[in-house]
Amino acid sequence: MPIGNLFIDDLTTATQADLAQAVVTLARSGVEEKFRLDFKETWAPEKQCPDVVAMANSYGGLLILGVSDDRQRFPGIVRPANSDLKTQVASTIAARIAPIPIFEVHTCPAPDDRTKALAVIRVTAQPRVHMYLRGDRPVYVRNEDGTVPASAPQLQHLLERVRNAELQIPPAPDPLAEIASDFYITKAKDVNDRPAKRQVLENRQRSGNALTIGIVPDRLANLAIDGTLEQRFKEAILRVYPCLAQRRSVDLGQTLLEYDDRRRTWFSYRYRDLDRDHEIIWAFNVQGTVQCAFEVAGRLGNGNANLWSISDLFVNLNGSLLLVNEFWRYAGIFSGGQLAATLQVSGLVPFVNAGNYPPLFYDVLMEIPQQAIRHLYGPYSISSAAAGLFCRYDDLHARRHESVIALGSGLLRDLRFGAETDLLRAVIARLP
């Protein structure tokens, strides 16, 4: 369907040919470059990121790349060699601007050179003061057809707009609000039962020990949940947990079970390993919120499930952030988010072997030495912990390991464990 208005039409469903035609039509229409429209022939982040800041601080608008100054030629911009242009542009904007603005990036082949591309960056104005993180002039606004540093009166106006808007902002979604009423972990009542008996619901019970993680995007999405999006979500899970994918590839449904569940606004995927009595649930909703729940109570042999693994904790935190980053990129969510995590380990003790904390559930070559995490004894036992973190987009991507360390250390601190950050960082660096 042809695009009638680049400013307001849904561009996610448009073909590349329709997008190219819409850019050509708008460029050649004679419309003036004003507050909400700017054409650029090249992609130079040090120049175009301030343009995005200015539009976000002003009225929003379109920044269109790959169009000549006279707007009669469409040479396009060079595609990156090792990544997608859309991802590169979006990632650069997200890494260089704080807070990350609401924006979309759409690309198509350039009419004059199909080896190059046109890029349409659509920016939505927000009642926030956006800043460019490079250089000594961080705040920009639009002035007619140009981008200029904000003057003192303009900056005061921006701050007043933020204050007025804060009085009307509804509360942000809770990252750990349940997506589904049955979003909890189950465990076999008797591990000595045959696998066929252990999988029947009446022979299972709700586990009292779990790690739960939720993250809400800073820019709430409006996803259309379909079979393709569900499949991409599951594929991302198996990529970020390769040891689970390996077990799944050789088990052939003998002791590994998978369950999908869906409603109009959410989808969940449950992984149950009957042999290890290990269960995980991952879910997402239409706003882009991702939630994960992991069984943490493990056993050695056929004994009681009275152990938990500190190494597994960090594997799960890292995997969850990897999943969020990969899934959000596919869904077109290039933002940070609010993350919350809770850990319940009632009656469990950390699994220790030969001076290390080894994994219980994952076949990974990672053991955390006891010197890195030491138990600080107190007058009473503590069995639950909580941690939270606001992540910028870069914290989910390039700085993911630092986010993992911050979250893990926070959870362990609540359980009276002290972490030696430098020692822990050397171990976490081995994770993907």
- The CATH fold assigned to 16-166 is 3.30.950
What ranges do the domains of the chain cover? 16-166, 186-428
| Residue-level pLDDT at 4 | 85
Contact of 76 with 159, CB cutoff 8 Å: no
**Pairing, β 61-65 against β 37-40:** parallel
Please choose, from the candidates 291, 285, 309, 310, the residue with its C-alpha nearest in 3D space to the C-alpha of residue 299. Answer: 309
Please choose, from the candidates 125, 131, 133, 106, the residue with its C-alpha nearest in 3D space to the C-alpha of residue 117. Answer: 106
| Residue-level pLDDT at 314 | 95
| Residue-level pLDDT at 20 | 94
Q: What is the pTM of this model?
A: 0.69
| Residue-level pLDDT at 252 | 66
CA distance 56 to 358: 48
| Residue-level pLDDT at 1 | 64
Q: Count CB atoms within 10 A of the CB of residue 377.
A: 7
CA distance 272 to 218: 31
Contact of 423 with 383, CB cutoff 8 Å: no
Q: Tell me the DSSP string of 283-298.
A: EEETT--EEEEEE--B
Q: Count CB atoms within 10 A of the CB of residue 29.
A: 8
| Residue-level pLDDT at 192 | 80
Residue 203: both structure tokens together: 């022979």
CA distance 421 to 408: 11
Question: What does pLDDT average to in each consecutive run of 10 residues of the chain (432 residues)?
Answer: 83 88 93 89 93 92 93 93 86 89 91 94 88 90 88 88 73 80 83 82 88 91 91 94 84 82 91 90 94 91 84 94 93 87 91 92 87 83 84 81 91 90 87 81
Contact of 53 with 93, CB cutoff 8 Å: no
Percent of the chain's residues with pLDDT above 70: 98
| Residue-level pLDDT at 170 | 65
| Residue-level pLDDT at 169 | 61
